[in-house]
Amino acid sequence: MIRAKKAFGVSPIEEPPPPLVKKSALGPRARAWPGAARAEGPVGVFVRENVREALGISWAFSREVEEGGFLFGQVHRDADEPSRWLVVVTEVIRAEHAEEARDALVFSPESFASMRRHAEATRDEASILGWFHTHIVTGPEDRGLSVVDRDLHFSTFRRPWQVAALVCVEPARDPEGREVSFFARQGDFLAPCAVEVLA
C-alpha cells in the first residue's frame, strides 16, 4: 500500500488591523513641524518631543557621510478616515554596522539584526515605523529623496504606514539650519507627510 504524502504549505498569519483612534486622543499637539508638508496624505506623522529634539537639534550628525537609523512607535487608523494611517514616533535609534558614504547609506544585515534586538529588548508595543537618514546638503537639489532612497524604502519598509525621514544637514548651518521631512508611500511615489509634534 502506497501512502500519499500530505502537502506541506506555509500561509501568512494576518496581523490584526491597527486600532481606530481619533487624532485628538494621541495627545496634545504643540505645533506643526517647521517646514513639514501641510497637506494630509495617506499617513499622518506625530512625533514625541524627544524625537524632534534628537533629529532636529541635539544629535551630532556627520558633515562628511550619510548616517541613519530606525523609527519606533505606534500605528493607528484614523477614526474619522479609516483608510488613513496615523503613526506616532516615540523613539529613534541610530543604525549599527551601516555602510556610510558621502552620498549613500546602506543598512547591513547586522544593522537589521541589532535593530530587532533593540525592539525585542524594549518589550513594549512599539512597531518599527520606518527609517531615517541624513543628506549632506549644499543646495536645494540635495533636500529630497533620491531614487536609491525610494528603492530602499519600497523594497525594505513594505507596510503602507511605514515612513522615511530625511534629515538635511547643511554643514555651515548645522544644527540651526537643519530640516527634517517625513515621507510615506502613495502609489508608486513617496509623498511628503504632514507632521505634528506632540507635547
pLDDT truncated to tens, each residue of the chain (199 aa)? 566 666 666 666 677 788 899 988 998 876 877 777 677 789 999 999 999 999 999 999 999 999 999 999 999 999 999 999 999 999 999 998 888 877 778 888 888 888 888 878 776 667 899 999 999 987 766 678 889 999 999 999 999 999 999 999 988 888 887 889 999 999 999 999 999 999 7
**Quick one: residue 73, left, alpha or beta (phi over 0 = left, psi -120 to 50 = alpha)?**
left
Distance CA 97, CA 78 (A): 36
Which cell goes with 51? Answer: 524625537
Which cell goes with 120? Answer: 525585542
Which cell goes with 45? Answer: 506623522
Q: Is-contact 133 105, C-beta < 8 A?
A: yes
Distance CA 138, CA 102 (A): 12
